[in-house]
Amino acid sequence: MSEHTAGDSGTRDDSSPEPDAVMAEGKRDSRDVVRDLAPDCTLEDVETGALYHAAVNGVVEYGVFVDVSDAVSGLVHESNLEGEYAVGDRLIVRLTEVKENGDVAFDEASPGGYTTEIVEHEPTISRVRGLVPGDEVTVEGEVVQTKQTGGPTIFGVADASGVVSCAAFEEAGVRAYPAVEVGDMVHVSGTVETREGGLQLEVDSLKPLSGDRAEEARTTFEAALEERAEPADVDPLVEWEAFESIHDDLRELARLLRRTVLAGRPIRVRHHADGDGMCAAIPVQLALERLVREVHEDPDASQHLFKRLPSKAPYYEMEDVTRDLNFALEGRARHGRKLPLLLMLDNGSTEEDVPAYENLTHYDIPIAVVDHHHPDPDAVAPLLDAHVNPYLHGEDYRVTTGMMCVELARLIDPSLTEELEHVPAVAGLSDRSKAEAMDDYVELAAEAGYGKEDLLDIGEALDYAAHWLRYSEGKTLVNDALNVGCDDPERHEELVEFLAERAERDVDRQLEAVDDHVEHERLASGAHLYRIDVDEYAHRFTYPAPGKTTGELHDTRVQETGDPVITIGYGPDFAVLRSDGVRLDIPTMVTELNEELPEAGVSGGGHLVVGSIKFVKGRREAVIDALVGKMAEAEIDESLSSTAVIDD
């Protein structure tokens, strides 16, 4: 009798012939084949006339009942039995009939020499997208979550069409299928049920795939992911030559983000806490959350798998990365999820970001960046999975991050287009971009019902909200202010009017406080230089913060003089720099200051004409004097203007 156990693979000679009875190479083996079914095999895996290994599960007057798998049993009538059997005995049977009512009939068989062929269950595979409550199905996919609750174990399984929660119960609070891990390819069989507004598969069996079968399933899964991750075929909102090469990079990032969602991986977004940063983050958030809801059968999945947070500093601080990493590791430990992808927006391109990125590499967390600050590609490229920056294509900061991210959002979900038509103009005006496409963006916004003053007010409202939100997401408030994902246009208008008026009032009060203390000199180049100690003379802990205060002061002096202007707002250990009509190249200046004053600990950066730096408090005078010396030698270029508002 066969002692073969289900789960082996290949064939085995169970008749134990003598060595000289083995068939010569090249000759066909004429021995009978007896099939040994895996325990989960069903009637789909059997055929009439085939031989099977069987075990007796019952003895009656008219014959014996046998099992050929856990799900396939039948009767061997006494007239077709050659001997007497007891429960547990093994024999070989031939399947003679499968009746319409599902009953199965066997005859006993006594082959001479035979080989055993392993038969694994190959169920009919159902796609996650399209599951119907009440159906008994089998899903093939990758385990993307293993979460132990006080009752069942919840497995998240992705098959590229979607992600479904599968509840397997061993006993209350006890891990079911403990050998199954995130990343395994599996077959899950069970009944589709409705749970809290979503679909859930109540598990009857969960089987990890192995060997060639696992490889085949993985290949199929990856190919399906690639196909569905393909971005939408949409052109940019405005025709702009500078955007063509950047758009190709955005397509690749859209593919990466779509694939990340389809594979069940969370996404964590960090963005600069200003108007352009929010114009970048909100459209991407809306697009990705919609995709998460489309992919996951759990209606609350977007709350768990997407998180957006502002960053006050103009680079990724160790404080931020430590919080993000702790949140990610807790999520993996408590909820059994994959570690997230980090998406940096309007930030993340400089050498100052490297220490934080290196911290993430210990956990293989992928990182993608969309930014328009002057980059240090040699420093960050080895740590990034994707990097979109206009400087990488010979362009500059005039292409704002908000402009790029509106296109990124449309590549992920083109149905958002109409809702986003005003956002690039808000981003450009907030960042004072002088891009040649600005007129086209403003015109596009006008066609959508937004005048230029409306756009300026929205940008001011976003800056004001960002200041008071500090490190909070403020999702509904920010969405309502930008009128993206807002369900009440009237509330949007009232909110923007209120926030913009408050912002204007506070800016006027701040400028009045500093005006008498601004120092002025004319540089040899003819540019005006204005300096203000914002820590000493500006209102503290209120709006606008030092960066915004310096920018507002700078704008008033530009308007008053009509000449090239440089403005420095400084405190005990920081300085905020603005320039109109002077090519400062602040990143280069920071590098030079570090070489000339190594003890000052200078760090920071920004664009060519706007930035912020930090330094050792006791070396402030030396740093500021060195900065002024470099500014005096800077080239006059009236085509340049300051842009980004750096809050600090």
pLDDT digits (tens, 9 = 90+) for 403-440: 999 999 999 999 999 999 999 999 999 988 889 999 99
Is residue 207 domain-shared with residue 296, that is, in the same domain?
Answer: no
- Judged by DSSP in three states, 231 sits in coil
Residue closest to 3 by CA, chosen among 19, 21, 16, 20: 16
- Interatomic CA distance for residues 230 and 405, integer angstroms: 17
Is the pLDDT confidence value at 644 over 60?
no
- Interatomic CA distance for residues 297 and 154, integer angstroms: 13
String of DSSP letters for 348-364: --SGGGHHHHHHHHTTT
Is the pLDDT confidence value at 1 over 70?
no
Task: Report residue 28's pLDDT band, with 50, 70 and 90 as the boundaries.
Answer: low
For residues 367-386, give the mean pLDDT: 95
pLDDT digits (tens, 9 = 90+) for 56-66: 999 999 999 99
Where does 359-457 show beta strands of DSSP type E? 367-370, 386-388
- In this structure, is residue 70 part of a structural domain? yes
Instruction: Give pTM, 2 decimals.
Output: 0.82
Task: Report residue 642's pLDDT band, with 50, 70 and 90 as the boundaries.
Answer: low
Task: Report residue 30's pLDDT band, with 50, 70 and 90 as the boundaries.
Answer: confident
Residue 102, pLDDT score: 86
Is residue 109 domain-shared with residue 145, that is, in the same domain?
Answer: no
- In this structure, is residue 391 part of a structural domain? yes
Which of 164, 199, 224 is the endpoint of a domain? 224
- Interatomic CA distance for residues 263 and 158, integer angstroms: 6
Is residue 250 domain-shared with residue 297, that is, in the same domain?
Answer: yes
Residue 11, pLDDT score: 41
Residue 220, pLDDT score: 95
pLDDT digits (tens, 9 = 90+) for 67-118: 999 989 999 999 999 889 999 999 999 999 999 888 999 999 998 889 999 9
Which of 90, 119, 148 is the endpoint of a domain? 119
Is the pLDDT confidence value at 184 over 60?
yes
- In this structure, is residue 10 part of a structural domain? no
Is residue 195 domain-shared with residue 250, that is, in the same domain?
Answer: no
Is the pLDDT confidence value at 200 over 70?
yes
For residues 222-245, give the mean pLDDT: 94
Going 81 to 85 to 91 to 95, the CA torsion angle's sign is: positive
- In this structure, is residue 564 part of a structural domain? yes
Is the pLDDT confidence value at 490 over 70?
yes
Is residue 158 domain-shared with residue 52, that is, in the same domain?
Answer: no
pLDDT digits (tens, 9 = 90+) for 540-557: 889 999 989 999 999 999
Q: Residue 342: left if φ>0, alpha if ψ -120 to 50, beta else—which one?
A: beta
- In this structure, is residue 95 part of a structural domain? yes
Neighbouring CB atoms inside 10 A of 559's CB total 10
State the virtual CA torsion across 533, 551, 585, 470 in degrees, nearest 10: 90
Is residue 571 domain-shared with residue 628, that is, in the same domain?
Answer: yes
Is residue 387 domain-shared with residue 485, that is, in the same domain?
Answer: yes
- In this structure, is residue 103 part of a structural domain? yes
- In this structure, is residue 7 part of a structural domain? no
| 242/251: higher pLDDT | 251
- Mean pLDDT (the chain, rounded): 90
| 288/42: higher pLDDT | 288
Residue 59, pLDDT score: 96
Residue closest to 201 by CA, chosen among 128, 291, 302: 128
pLDDT digits (tens, 9 = 90+) for 267-278: 999 999 889 999
Is residue 578 domain-shared with residue 627, that is, in the same domain?
Answer: yes
- In this structure, is residue 419 part of a structural domain? yes
Q: How many domains are there within the chain?
A: 4
For residues 533-545, give the mean pLDDT: 93
Is residue 202 domain-shared with residue 312, that is, in the same domain?
Answer: no
State the virtual CA torsion across 315, 321, 327, 329 in degrees, nearest 10: 140
- Interatomic CA distance for residues 401 and 277, integer angstroms: 7
Is residue 482 domain-shared with residue 572, that is, in the same domain?
Answer: no
Domain with 304, as residue range(s), is 241-497
As a whole number of Å, the end-to-end CA separation of the chain is 80
Residue closest to 384 by CA, chosen among 249, 527, 511: 249
Is the pLDDT confidence value at 6 over 80?
no
pLDDT digits (tens, 9 = 90+) for 587-603: 888 889 999 999 999 98
Task: Report residue 3's pLDDT band, with 50, 70 and 90 as the boundaries.
Answer: very low
Which of 72, 97, 119 is the endpoint of a domain? 119
Where does 502-646 show beta strands of DSSP type E? 519-522, 528-533, 565-570, 574-580, 582-583, 603-606, 610-614, 635-636
Residue 252, pLDDT score: 97
- Interatomic CA distance for residues 197 and 550, integer angstroms: 51
Residue 432, pLDDT score: 85
Residue 588, pLDDT score: 85
How does strand 198-208 pair with strand 367-370? unpaired
Residue 24, pLDDT score: 46
The CATH number of residue 535's host domain is: 3.10.310.40
Residue 609, pLDDT score: 78
Is residue 387 domain-shared with residue 271, that is, in the same domain?
Answer: yes
Is residue 264 domain-shared with residue 312, that is, in the same domain?
Answer: yes
For residues 469-473, give the mean pLDDT: 86
Residue 4, pLDDT score: 35
The CATH number of residue 281's host domain is: 3.90.1640.30
- Interatomic CA distance for residues 143 and 338, integer angstroms: 10
Is the pLDDT confidence value at 10 over 50?
no
The CATH number of residue 145's host domain is: 2.40.50.140
